[in-house]
Amino acid sequence: MTDKLTKTGAAVGEPVATGSAPSDAFLDVRDLKIHFPTDDGLVKSVDGLSFQLEKGKTLGIVGESGSGKSVTSLGIMGLHTVGQYGRQKAQISGEIWLNGRDLLSADPDEVRKMRGRDMAMIFQDPLSAMHPYYTVGSQIVEAYRVHHDVDKKTARKRAVELLDRVGIPEPAKRFDNYPHEFSGGMRQRAMIAMALVNNPALLIADEPTTALDVTVQAQILDLMRDLQKEFGSAVVIITHDLGVVAELADDILVMYGGRCVERGPAESVFYEPQHPYTWGLLGSMPRIDRDQTDRLIPVKGNPPSLINIPSGCAFNPRCPYADVPKGGITRTQRPELAPAGDRHFSACHMPQEERTRIWTEEIAPKL
Ligand SMILES: Nc1ncnc2c1ncn2[C@@H]1O[C@H](COP(=O)(O)OP(=O)(O)OP(=O)(O)O)[C@@H](O)[C@H]1O
Ligand code: SF4
Ligand SMILES: [Mg+2]
């Protein structure tokens, strides 16, 4: 704990002013900005994101492709300079408090030591996170031994235990397989085992099931739910699919153009959403009880350019309700997150009664 830590008693999900002491929350992200200078201009991938998460709870982050979900998770892990987009130096500001320590002002060596031990990440594609030339087991052993001064035999026992726990059959035998000898679902399980081997207090799962078929997806999500109960970690799960987080998460945060447009308890965001973009996401969710042609109503238009984010509400160019009168608020004023229910916040200029009416009378009956 640092001497900077004093308690504000802020509730999970409640926006808090930055620059003051952090809340009690285990993970407390404040006004996080991650910008990339490029030849075309400054890409504002994350632009003022704040949220809190308690230990033992799950936060689901949803949003379309390019909304800044992965950049956010890499930023928390201290990995914002790496990844599929190369190594441009990111400009990062704000605060990321993990268990009372601000990761952004901490010594990078310290953050490196915390990675794997205090916080771990499950990536969308396990093949890119696992080394093809080493056996699955040896990679889990290495991940364990980086943080534990134990001999290889003890580490092997731990790795086999974990492989068993995540449902790999014959784990002692499978230990010696290479990643390509595993099926996609098994590789994802192995990656979960690797992430959990040090029992991290924070686990970030970035689209952990998108590459898998539906049945395997369901199995992996069940497994994550069980493991979370067992390990008591704080979990951030990132996905395009609101349905996934509605089942798995305690809280949901909806991202659009690098910012949060809505967040709150999963039940409220799923059943009483308060932002037109969230309505769009719900409308585009596949439904097993509907005909294919019926169920996919994608949000029309394209995600905003993160170099020229529209002024005012970034969703404006795509929003069917952009012209609903907003009591004198001009198009160029940016809506900030405002209370929209119990621990529920939404960034939309429309009066709340109007939003509730549109949701209950016009949108919900069609879903
Ligand atoms: N190093 C970088 N330099 C420039 N732009 C970047 C860099 N890293 C990410 N971006 C941009 O930041 C935006 C957000 O990317 P991010 O990977 O976080 O999206 P995402 O929400 O995870 O999308 P997906 O659902 O497709 O995974 C994208 O427009 C991406 O092009
Ligand atoms: S502020 Fe206006 S444009 Fe933005 S989501 Fe609300 S209604 Fe749509
Ligand atoms: Mg991503």
**340 pLDDT above the threshold of 90:** yes
Contacts of 294 (CB under 8 A, 6+ apart): 287
What DSSP state is assigned to residue 9?
A: -
Ligand 1 atom nearest residue 72's Cα:
18
**Nearest ligand, CA 87:** 1
Is the pTM above the cut of 0.85?
A: yes
Q: What is the pLDDT of residues 57-94, one digit of tens each?
A: 999 999 999 999 999 999 999 887 644 445 557 899 99
The SS3 call for residue 30 is strand
**225 pLDDT above the threshold of 50:** yes
Average predicted confidence (pLDDT) for the chain: 87
**345 pLDDT above the threshold of 90:** yes
Q: How far apart are CA 226 and CA 245, in angstroms?
A: 15
Q: What is the pLDDT of residues 82-137, one digit of tens each?
A: 444 455 578 999 999 999 999 999 998 999 999 988 999 998 777 778 899 999 99
Residue 70 CB–ligand 1 contact under 6 Å = yes
- The answer to whether the CB of 24 falls within 8 A of the CB of 36 is no
Among candidates 286, 281, 235, which has minimal Cα distance to 256? 281
**Widest CA span of the chain, in angstroms?**
70
∠30-201-124 over CA atoms, to 5°?
80
Where are the chain's structural domains? 27-118+200-366
Q: Which residues line ligand 2 (CB under 6 A)?
A: 276, 313, 315-316, 319, 321-322, 324, 335, 348-350
Residue 80 neighbours by CB distance under 10 Å: 21
- The answer to whether the CB of 124 falls within 8 A of the CB of 211 is yes
- Give the torsion sign (CA, 24, 25, 26, 27): negative
**Structurally, what CATH architecture does the domain formed by 27-118+200-366 represent?**
3-Layer(aba) Sandwich (3.40)
pLDDT at position 324 is 82
Closest C-alpha residue for ligand 1 atom 11: 45
The SS3 call for residue 332 is coil
Contacts of 351 (CB under 8 A, 6+ apart): 326, 327
Closest C-alpha residue for ligand 2 atom 6: 348
**285 pLDDT above the threshold of 70:** yes
The CA 119 to ligand 1 mean position distance, Å, reads 21
The CA 329 to ligand 1 mean position distance, Å, reads 31
DSSP 244-291: HHHHH-SEEEEEETTEEEEEEEHHHHHHS--SHHHHHHHHTS--TTS-
The CA 360 to ligand 3 mean position distance, Å, reads 32
Q: Of the residues 36, 87, 88, 207, which should be mutated to test ligand 1's pocket, given the most ligand atoms within 8 Å of the CB?
A: 36
pLDDT at position 92 is 93
One-letter amino acid at 186 equals M
Among candidates 61, 101, 55, which has minimal Cα distance to 200? 55
Average pLDDT value for residue range 340-366: 94
Burial of 108 (0-12, 13-18, 19+ CB in 10 A): exposed
Q: Of the residues 260, 329, 337, 348, which should be mutated to test ligand 2's pocket, given the most ligand atoms within 8 Å of the CB?
A: 348
